């Protein structure tokens, strides 16, 4: 088992007995949480399924526009 790894925030070496493991410090842990909260870590995985893509575009095209009604 690894006794150390790199801090996800600042890439510093963190020992496993660090109280803030896997972060090197409380500051880096908070910074990482902040990144998630502010949406910096967007999970962007492009859709590769052509059938799903077609279905998505079709459903968007057929979506009635509520703006005209209201």
Longest CA–CA span in the chain (Å) reads 63
- Output phi, psi for 24, to 5 deg: -80, -20
The yes or no reply on residue 24 touching Zn ion (CB under 5 A) is yes
Of 1, 2, 6, 12, the one binding Zn ion (CB under 5 A) is: 12
* CB nearer Zn ion, residue 30 or residue 56: 30
C-alpha to C-alpha distance for 35 and 20, rounded to whole angstroms: 17
Of 10, 18, 20, 21, the residue at the interface with Zn ion (CB under 5 A) is: 10
- Nearer CB in complex with Zn ion: 5/10: 10
């Amino acid at each position: 088992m690894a006794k150390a790894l790199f801090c996800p925030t600042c890439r510093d070496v963190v020992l496993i007995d660090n109280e803030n493991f896997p972060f090197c410090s409380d500051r880096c842990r908070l910074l990482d949480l902040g990144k998630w909260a502010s949406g910096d870590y967007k999970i962007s995985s492009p859709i590769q399924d052509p059938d799903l893509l077609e279905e998505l575009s079709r459903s968007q095209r057929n979506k009635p526009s509520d703006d005209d009604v209201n």
